[in-house]
Structure 1
Amino acid sequence: MSNQLNLYGVFVPALFTWTLIALAVSVPLRRIIAWSGFYRFVWHRPLFDVALYVVLVGAIVLLAKQFPL
């Protein structure tokens, strides 16, 4: 696993890329959760959203380690 990604000659930290991917996944996922009404069962919505984002970043990092480019 490399610490940097080469995007057309620009070196980007891999963690920054993974966090952007997690953000792109979390936005529609939060909308689906809101549409389904699941937030009624959540005590603190912003805390739940941050925890969901952290779990998504962790899952993406784990997948990146399992399937390197």
Structure 2
Amino acid sequence: MTGDLSLFGVFVPKLLVLALASYVALVLLKRVLARLGVYRLVWHPALFDLSIFILLVAAAANAAQWYVS
């Protein structure tokens, strides 16, 4: 099994697909966290968003690996 997906004949890395899906989830999660006022408690919002993005990508990669196995 390779690390690529074929979308209409174009090979796309799986990590890119997972990163795009994680980015969409991050945008939605940022709206929820902003509405709840969590960003008032965060020292550096950009680093906080980056860490959440990395956690989402890692969780998606882990879930995709469990799904394939």
TM over 0.5, yes or no? yes
Give secondary structure in 2 for the equivalent of 1:43. Answer: coil
Distance, in Å, in 2 between the alignment partners of 1:46 and 1:13 is 26
For residues 58 and 27 of structure 1, the distance between their equivalents in structure 2, rounded to whole angstroms, comes to 17
> What is the alpha-carbon distance in structure 2 between the residues aligned to residue 8 and residue 65 of structure 1?
23
Tell me which residue corresponds to 2:12.
12
Structure 2: 5+ residue runs without aligned partners? Answer: none
What is the deviation of 1:2?
A: 3.3
Whether the 8 Å contact between 1:23 and 1:53 is mirrored in structure 2 is yes
For 2:48, the equivalent position in structure 1 comes to 48
Post-superposition offset of 1:8: 1.7
* Runs of 4+ more than 4 Å apart: none
Give the alignment's TM-score, normalised by structure 2.
0.92
Unpaired runs of 5+ residues, structure 1, are none
CA distance in 2, matches of 1:44, 1:7: 38
Percent of pairs with identical residues: 40
- Per-residue Cα deviation, 1:25-44 (whole angstroms, up to 9, x for no partner): 10010010000001111111
